[in-house]
Amino acid sequence: MKVLIIDDDPLILSVYSRTLSQKNFTALTAANGKLGLDTLTADTEISKILLDVYMPEMDAYGFMKAIQSDSVLSERYFEIYIVTSGEKEDILKRFFEDNIDMKYIRNILKKPVDLQMLTAALQL
């Protein structure tokens, strides 16, 4: 199973990637939403995405809007797990205010994320 990890922190990318690879996931990484969008567009086998909220160049809100407005990506099936240091209520409020479709979002995980919980969530 392919998982795309989108986060601007190189340490988080490394830890998540290594942890998921040990659990037999194929982990792909991107340092911001724009690079993540490029990877998602190029690889149709990605089924799960770990998405940091606050990143330079394109944050989670821009990423979600781009998926929503893309006729090909909006028809694909994948699950998004939001990973954030922010408050869940604030994230949900912003999604609502920006009219972002949340059909892909499976969970919002608070940093620091427990790696056992993360891998368990992705295996469901």
Distance of CA 44 to the CA centre of its chain: 15
pLDDT band at 59 (very low <50, low <70, confident <90, very high): very high
pLDDT tens digits, residue range 79-115? 999 999 989 999 999 999 999 999 999 999 998 899 9
CB-based burial label for 112 (10 Å; 0-12, 13-18, 19+): exposed
pTM tops 0.75, yes or no: yes
Give the Cα separation of 120 and 124 in Å (integer).
7
2-123: CATH superfamily: Response regulator (3.40.50.2300)
Q: How far is CA 109 from CA 38, 50, 82, in A?
A: 24, 9, 6
